[in-house]
Structures are given as structure tokens and as C-alpha cells.
Amino acid sequence: MEKNIAVLSGDGIGPEVIEQALKVLTAIETKFNHKFHTHFALVGAIAINQTGNPLPEETLAICLQSDAVLFGAIGDPKYDNDPSAPVRPEQGLLRLRKSLGLFANVRPVTTYPTLLSLSPLKEEKIKGVDFVIYRELTGGIYFGEKGRKDDIAYDHCVYSREEIARITRLAFDAARLRRKKVTLVDKANVLETSRLWRDEVKRISAQYPDVELDFLFVDNAAMQIIQFPSQFDVMLTENMFGDILSDEASVITGSMGLLPSASVGAKTSLYEPIHGSYPQATGLDIANPMATILSAAMMLDSFNLHAEAEVIRESVKNLLESGYGTAELQLPHSCKCSEIGDLIAAKILAM
């Protein structure tokens, strides 16, 4: 199979972790006789530095011509504490989501038996936790009308039925292949948009009689993720609730450096680790590339290369089980970022 992949490494540790994922993809090409054509493009702070624009037109064009986008990370501390900066790296990502129509952010929350002791939760609470968050990504308060007048500022939260429906169908389809339960997280006791979500999700759920649907208010969901995380199978929610809850959910596993994500759209889809650009670690070769490598596996799934994706996941699992990982995993064999890439690529070729 031949595929075109846009590679947007971005800022901070982005380029280092992407390099490891590319080693792994090269191993997959060799082993399975595929050809992945990579097309590098700028995004984030590095794009601002070089072009003045966090998402140059050329980058957008490359993404639109590709079968998928592999994304590292964006962000630079230079912008974080300057609310008046007119251009920001994050604008590149938000514009990319909107322009590519990436309406569903899919984040699996997976635990690894060898890493359970790193979880901030008690082992018996976190053991076996396996759910996936479907976060709406191109609507809501992120993209509603915003403005400021004198001492007043506003951000409107707007949703249409169709925006809710398309991600809801994806979430129910996913639940069908899992434990057949969808939990809609909202704030329907207060927000009109949440009441529209409830209405539309209930309507669609009628087409999935085999899937159980339940509802949680977002404040309660924040507590339940800590207290009883194993109750969840597919969590469905709007943009900002999903932003917050997916970060909360990622840390309870204890292995945030291993969690991948997919942002699915009508035109193309984008794969990225859930962690950020980790600026303090830039160039030190200490970042964990596994989340990016597992994101590449999700990308292969989207090409219907399931056996290939599974080989990557198995190699990562094997490596961890034999006690190899980056330093923060506190395993017997502490490895550099680049060594992890080499080890996983070698494992794939040996399998």
C-alpha cells in the first residue's frame, strides 16, 4: 500500500518524538512492503519564527493533499505568559482542526500492568481501566463568537444538531466494537447547548438498541473519573469539557507519555500524542516517544492496516514488559528517546 503522510513535528520535543515514530514506520514499510511518502511542514512557534504564521498556507495545502497527518506538539513558553501576543502557536492547531474539519478527537485511556504503580490512584481502582473519550473538536466555546468591549469579554458556546450527530454516530459505532456503553457528559442542568446534546444523542441512540446510554453532569464526571474510572467505556462530550476531562483521565493511568490520540475528520485525520511540547526537555533526548509511536499505530488503523498497527502495539507492550522505557517510567532499563525508537523498530523487524 502507498500512502502520503504530512509530518508536522512542531515545537519542543515534537521533532524528537516524531523522528522515533518515523523509524517505526520505516520498519513497518520494510516488513510489510508498504510505501509511506512523508511530507514535512511547519506548524506552531517554529512556523511563527520562520514565516510569521502558526499555520502557513503551504502546510495546510500539504495536509489537504495527504492521506493523514502525523503531528508532534506545539507550544512555546514565550507565548504562554503573554496574553496580548497577537499570534500564538495554538492558533495554528485550532485553525488546522477547523480547516481540515477534524470534528472528533479520540483519546483512548489505557493502562499498562507494568506501569500501574505510577498512577496517582490506588492500584485496585486503576487496574483494568480501559475507556475512550470522544471529544467534539470544532465547535462549542472554542469556536463561537468571541470579543471584548471595555471591561467585558465573552466567548459564545454554540452547537448545531448536525455537529452533535456526526460525533455521536462515531461514538456509538465505537461502543459497538467495545463494551457497548456510551456516557454523555454535559451540563444539562444549566446549559442550553447541553440540553440540545442530550436531545440529539438520545434520538441517535434509538438506532443503537444494543448500546447502553447514560448521562453524567461534567462536575460529577470529574469526580467519577477519579473514584470509579472502570465504569467508563465510551465517554462522549463537547469540546471544552473534553479538553479538561481528557487531561484528567490521562494522568490517572500513570503513563501519560504512552497515550496517543486521533482527530478524525471528513477530509483527513490527524494523529498526535496527547502530551504537549515539554519545552524543558527539548533536545535532551529524554522524552518518551511511545505516545507518538502509538499515534502512528492509530494512523495505520485508519488505513485499515490493522495487523501492522497491532505489531506496533505489541512491540511497545513487549518492550515495557521486558523492563525498558524512558526514565520517567522507572523501569529497570532506562533508555533515551532515540533508543526507544531503535528498540521498537528492531523488535518489529524481528517479529
Helices (runs of H) and strands (runs of E) counted in the chain: 13, 14
Looking at beta carbons only, is 248 or 314 nearer to Mn ion? 248
User: Nearer Cβ to ligand IPM, position 93 or 294?
Assistant: 93
Q: Hunting for cell 465573552 — which residue is that?
A: 154
**x/- track of binding to ligand IPM for residues 242-271 (CB under 6 A):** -x----------------------------
187 labelled catalytic:
yes
Looking only at the bridges linking them, the beta strands covering 181-186 and 212-217 are parallel
Residues within window 211-270 making contact with Mn ion, judged by CB under 5 A? 243
Binding mask 187-226 for ligand IPM (x = CB under 6 A): ----------------------------------------
Active site (annotated) includes residue 233: no
Quote the strand ranges of the chain, DSSP E: 2-10, 35-40, 68-73, 102-110, 130-136, 146-149, 152-155, 181-186, 212-217, 234-237, 260-265, 269-273, 324-326, 333-335
Whichever of 96 and 320 has its CB closer to Mn ion, that residue is 96
Q: Is 247 a catalytic residue?
A: yes
Our finding on whether 328 is near Mn ion (CB under 5 A) is no
Q: Is there a contact between 264 and 103 (Cβ–Cβ < 8 Å)?
A: yes
Near ligand IPM by CB under 6 A: residue from 5, 27, 93, 175: 93
Point out the catalytic residue in the list 112, 142, 271, 324: 142
What 3-state DSSP class applies to 142?
Answer: helix
What b/e readout covers 263-287, taking b as 16+ CB neighbours within 10 angstroms? bbbeebbbbbbbbebbbebbeebbb
Name the residue number minimizing CB distance to ligand IPM.
90
Strands 324-326 and 333-335: parallel
List the beta bridge partners of residue 101: none
Stretch binding ligand IPM (CB under 6 A), from 33-41, 88-96, 108-116, 170-178: 88-96
Residue 170 binding: pick among ligand IPM, Mn ion, none (C-beta 5-8 Å cut-off by kind): none
Cα separation, 176 vs 172, whole angstroms: 6
Q: Which CB atom, from 16 or from 76, has the smaller least distance to ligand IPM?
A: 76
Q: Which residues sit at the interface with ligand IPM, rule CB under 6 A? A: 90, 93-94, 243
List residues with catalytic annotation: 142, 187, 219, 243, 247
The residue ranges that bind Mn ion (CB under 5 A) are 243
